[in-house]
Amino acid sequence: MNPKPARHTADERRAEITAAAAIEFARRGLDGATTDRIAERAGVSQPYVVRLFGTKKALFLAVANRAFERIAEAFRASAVGDGPEQRLNSMGLAYVALLEDRDELALQLQLYAAAYDPEIRACVATRFAQLHELCAELSGAGPDQLRAFIAQGMLCNVAAALDIPQIAWDEDWARTRLAEVETAPTDEG
């Protein structure tokens, strides 16, 4: 006699759907992702997704909150060191490690891209502000250090998205990139 597979609770299903939605939103954006594809990825029916979340935008907001919480958890776990600079450096390394996941990176970019919607803008702006305050609290950094840290994080987003990590540390990255493009063979030759 085979035991029945364990039934998932609504909270477990909600977490599974949110994880599946994060991938779909990362790859297709708010407008391009569909609840059908999200349901398929999560292994549930589309009506079940709607029953748990109501609307695609509500699901997107749940994904946004989850994404910011993942960053906050990484910062909390890594904020170690003898002073603000060391703690910020450790937190920055933890953030860069998160960005190695292309879907996590793309999701970060999609969250900001969807800010044309006032409700999403309010959520993302609030979560960004909370993350900023958390960084200040965890690091003990002053306003200028904190601003530089946040700016470097955004630069890391661009560097990771373009797959040009040297943007974050090499002042000559643009010149090098343009020289590579100029010397690359073309399809015409």
Quote the pLDDT of residue 168.
73
Domains, the chain, ranges and CATH? 10-183 (1.10.357.10)
Dist. CA 184–CA 79, nearest whole Å: 42
Residue with tokens 């955004």: 154
- Cβ within 8 Å of residue 165, ≥6 positions away: 159
Dist. CA 63–CA 25, nearest whole Å: 9
Quote the pLDDT of residue 59.
97
Element (H, E) at 9: none
Question: Could you read off the pLDDT of 8-56 as tens digits, one per residue?
Answer: 787 888 999 999 999 999 999 999 999 999 999 999 999 999 999 999 9
Quote the pLDDT of residue 54.
95
Dist. CA 135–CA 125, nearest whole Å: 15
Write b or e for each residue in 112-133: b if 16 or more Cβ atoms lie within 10 A of its Cβ, otherwise e. eebbeeeebeebbeebbeebee
| Largest Cα–Cα separation, the chain | 68
Q: Check if the beta carbon of residue 88 is closer than 8 Å to that of residue 82.
A: no
Quote the pLDDT of residue 41.
96
Q: Which of the residues in the chain have pLDDT under 70?
A: 1-6, 187-189
Quote the pLDDT of residue 42.
95
